[in-house]
Amino acid sequence: MFGFLRRFVPMPDLRLAGSKVTLRPPRDGDYHAWADLRRRSRDFLVPWEPTWPRDALMRGCWRRRLRHYAEEWALGASYSFMIFRNGDDALMGGITLSNVRRGVAQAGTIGYWVGQPFARQGVMTEAVGLMLRFAYEELGLHRVEAACLPQNAASRALLARCGFREEGYAPQYLKINGAWRDHVLFAQLTPLEKAVSYSGLSSTPQAWPASPDNMAPSTPSLANALSHLVSRS
């Protein structure tokens, strides 16, 4: 335990508030809710995700995730959030902006997962909208990308609702559930250059804290950055 505490860098105290959901970085205290939701949703999520490790739901695996999230956040390479229902703070899923590239690109990749009890309830539509606003207004990105399996009709519809445009098809793009799978590629540009509609975003100033520190340029491996994410609404 003490080794974990020595190596663990706390995540920033940041909240992105919408009308139905709130996003905030994960904490060690989220473990039980996260493990329970992932356990109950396992059959629902496994077909759309990289192969789960044997200890996928153990506390040690959760803490490794937290260390990775914190390190990536400090580097400005990736920003991970949990999705909570307003009112009772029930954990509903997760969303990450990863593979952030600075310099001439100013781009990142969005990925997400939602627990089976909360699917098809508009949760991810609002969560993606909040993350896009964070990417453009707080991080100053120019472009946000996404990818999903061709047969994932729900995710393709979600991305279209959130202003993404289909840009291409990548054969054997990511290793999902033990096999290299084709993906459809999506992207959108900052609303400063192209109008994008968001759903259910809070307009209250307190919902948008100051930008986090230590956002140094970094370009991690896309497969590594997306190793725990799933594009499923």
Q: Going by C-beta distance under 8 Å and a sequence separation of 6 or more, which residues neighbour residue 36?
A: none
pLDDT for res 202: 42
pLDDT for res 6: 46
- Whole-angstrom Cα Rg for the chain: 17
Q: What is the pTM of this model?
A: 0.79
Q: Which has the closest alpha carbon to 221: 67, 72, 105, 53?
A: 72
CB atoms within 10 A of CB 213: 9
- What letter would DSSP give residue 94? E
Confidence of residue 139 (pLDDT cuts 50, 70, 90): very high
Where is average pLDDT lowest: 5-9, 32-36, 166-170, 226-230? 226-230
Q: What residue ranges define each of the domains in the chain, with the CATH number in brackets?
A: 2-210 (3.40.630.30)
Question: How far is Cα 14 from Cα 82, in angstroms, rounded to an integer?
Answer: 11
